[in-house]
Amino acid sequence: MIEQKEFLKDYDDSKYKKPSTTVDMIILTAVDVEIKARSVPDKVLRVLLIKRKGDPLVVDVTDPYKAKWALPGGFVNYFEDLDKAAIRELEEETNVSDVYMEQLYTWGKVYRDLRRRVISTSYMALVDSSKLNVKAGDDAEDACWFDVKATLLEEIKTQTQTGYIRKRTYELSLVNGEHEIKDTVIVTKVMEGRNSKIGLEYLDNPSGLAFDHATVIFYALERLKNKVEYTDIAFSLMPELFTLTELKKLYEVITGKAIYSRNFRDKMEKQKKMVIETDEWESGKPYKPARLFRFNPDWVED
Amino acid sequence: MIEQKEFLKDYDDSKYKKPSTTVDMIILTAVDVEIKARSVPDKVLRVLLIKRKGDPLVVDVTDPYKAKWALPGGFVNYFEDLDKAAIRELEEETNVSDVYMEQLYTWGKVYRDLRRRVISTSYMALVDSSKLNVKAGDDAEDACWFDVKATLLEEIKTQTQTGYIRKRTYELSLVNGEHEIKDTVIVTKVMEGRNSKIGLEYLDNPSGLAFDHATVIFYALERLKNKVEYTDIAFSLMPELFTLTELKKLYEVITGKAIYSRNFRDKMEKQKKMVIETDEWESGKPYKPARLFRFNPDWVED
DNA sequence: GCAAAAGTGTTAAAGGTACACCCATGT
DNA sequence: ACATGGGTGTACCTTTAACACTTTTGC
């Protein structure tokens, strides 16, 4: 290991003005919500947000996102690995460690934060809600879990000379008992000859999230949706033991599609062998008791 | 748009020592290589590397990667979007624009560069080799295309109490007429209960690439391999018109697997409809002329 | 008995993998 | 004539999507 004082010996590291480097955390969990009495509850995804300080009635042109909800995050220290900064932020907010975490994307538009030039790397963490304390973090900040959902509102496809332009408009909705945040995220795909480009924007609206955090959360939900199909990522959001219907409900909320339970069972147990049965049974429900399963740690992706 | 002088007005942006921010470019192309006379040539992937300055015989402990080959890249300017910095670097090196480009990953280990703290975002660019000039960039630097290939050398799987550890050792080989670079990249997957973690390391060797660039290139090749299965990414590496055998050869070198041509044809043309036939034909070959196809710009992923 | 979910049998369509074969070209 | 790839017919198996039905529980 190199001594810190040797580092930088021959270089003047402060000649040029540098962007700041931060990490943003998309901390997700899944919880049950009752939709109908005497029925299995649905799952819903929740994301942890922090209330930024400031007066919501005063508009500050140098910081228009004061008093808005934002993703937790912070600066990367000079002698701290990028991953370590993300782990530190996660622990500060949730007091949990050893959960699934993955780097998502690095956001680097010049004016994404009007106070200073910030380049921010986003990380997604998936937490089993049964392992969480009621309080999210113990600092003075106003941290809350929001039910999160992205809905496709509109899709427009325009033919061009050598391809097409496809514009999808989504509504990102964030709800928590008292607060309701709605943001619009637009995904543009430009196909030109053999090269396609994907763009992600958000529409700035007064009641929305701070910064570009609507797009960042949307991006995380998309990544989760894709990865749930071919990895074991979903099990990070489940308790140790679960019924196959509970697991199905989680897959449904992540993918946004209804799943046929007959085939889901066979796929998980017989075909992909992602779960193994236990001798434990669910009880106390007004229907036939269900067997509890656990994740098969020997499962390997193909 | 905000005036640059307004930006930073109320903040002292230089209070703390900051990491530097750079972009690294993995610029890939695919070229034909003759393996046998009178046969269709194979495809091989090439990556653009830059020779770092310095005396290869002198070891500098503050910069041990002098005189080694590295990925092109550079600092992100304070008033420059991250994506724009990548586009600028690409144009500086290859004089091409409007090619496929995608952000890959942000590398942020503290001591990945011993001269200063650098956080580097890597971008992959895919260039059709027929559009490239012979010379790669016109600056004084020593820029060369290297045939690139990753080979799995060894896989070790160890059972643990709650899961397993799997270690895969790859050799990354970079070859160009005069130079041959070999690096070892190790991919570790730790499955512990319901959470898995993936680690990417390289073995530092005197004849290897500079910095952590072996892992960065390996990561790009893996991403390309995954994406080629469900996107149209491969066509960015192909000329406008091509035979189905040429396309198959490209898929083979990217995935590292042999493909049955009978099924590849049907899949591309009938099933996925990624290509459309033209009325043009290949000629001058000592076998039956092949029809030329082009990418179907109306193709949409499912 | 009823509502709700657990769990199994079966089938038809779509996709993946493979063998076998004939055709057209330059040398 | 021959080597080489172009291109098609077909068969088998797996995966996917779906309908139908029996069983078990709490109320």
Quote the CA–CA distance of A293 and B36 in Å, as a whole number.
55
Across the range A246-261, mean pLDDT stands at 98
Phi/psi for B190 (5° steps) reads: -110, 115
User: Which one is the CATH code of B230-302: 3.40.50.2300, 1.10.10.10, 3.40.630.30, 3.30.360.10?
Assistant: 1.10.10.10
A2, A229, A253, B107, B211 from B120: Cα distances, Å: 20, 30, 35, 5, 11
Q: Tell me what pLDDT residue A21 has.
A: 97
Contact call for residues A106 and B106 (beta carbons, < 8 A): yes
Contact call for residues A145 and A176 (beta carbons, < 8 A): yes
Phi/psi for A138 (5° steps) reads: -120, 15
Q: What is the pTM of this model?
A: 0.93
Task: Say which DSSP state B242 is in.
Answer: B
CA of A234 to C1' of D21 (A): 31
Chain A CB contacts of B225 under 8 Å are none
User: Which chain C positions come under 7 Å from a protein C-beta?
Assistant: 3-10, 15-20, 23-27
Which residue from B minimizes the CA distance to A240? Answer: B194
> A229-302 architecture in CATH?
Orthogonal Bundle (1.10)
Average per-residue pLDDT in chain A?
A: 92
A76/B119 CB distance under 8 A:
yes
Chain position carrying tokens 């949706």 = A225
Across the range A124-130, mean pLDDT stands at 95
What residue is closest to C24 (Cα–C1')?
Answer: B288
Q: Tell me what pLDDT residue A208 has.
A: 94
**Fold observed for domain B20-227:** Nucleoside Triphosphate Pyrophosphohydrolase (3.90.79)
Tell me the pLDDT tens digit for each residue of B263-292.
Answer: 999 999 999 999 999 999 999 999 999 999
Share of chain B above pLDDT 70, in %: 92
Residue whose C-alpha is closest to residue B149's, from B172, B128, B127, B166 = B172
pLDDT band, residue B135 (cuts 50/70/90): low
A18, A161, A191 from A158: Cα distances, Å: 41, 10, 10
A115/B164 CB distance under 8 A:
no
Q: Which stretches of B76-169 are DSSP H helices?
A: 82-94
What is the domain partition of chain B in residue ranges? Answer: 20-227, 230-302
- Which of A194, A197, A222, A236 is most worth mutating to test chain B (most B CB atoms within 10 A of its CB)? A194
Quote the CA–CA distance of B119 and B21 in Å, as a whole number.
5
Residue whose C-alpha is closest to residue A118's, from A190, A211, A251 = A211
B98/A17 CB distance under 8 A:
no
Instruction: Give me the total of CB pairs closer than 8 Å, taking one residue from chain A and one from chain B.
Output: 162
Nearest nt to the CA of B270 via C1' is: C15
Q: Tell me what pLDDT residue A138 has.
A: 47
Average per-residue pLDDT in chain B?
A: 91
Tokens of A101: 């975490």
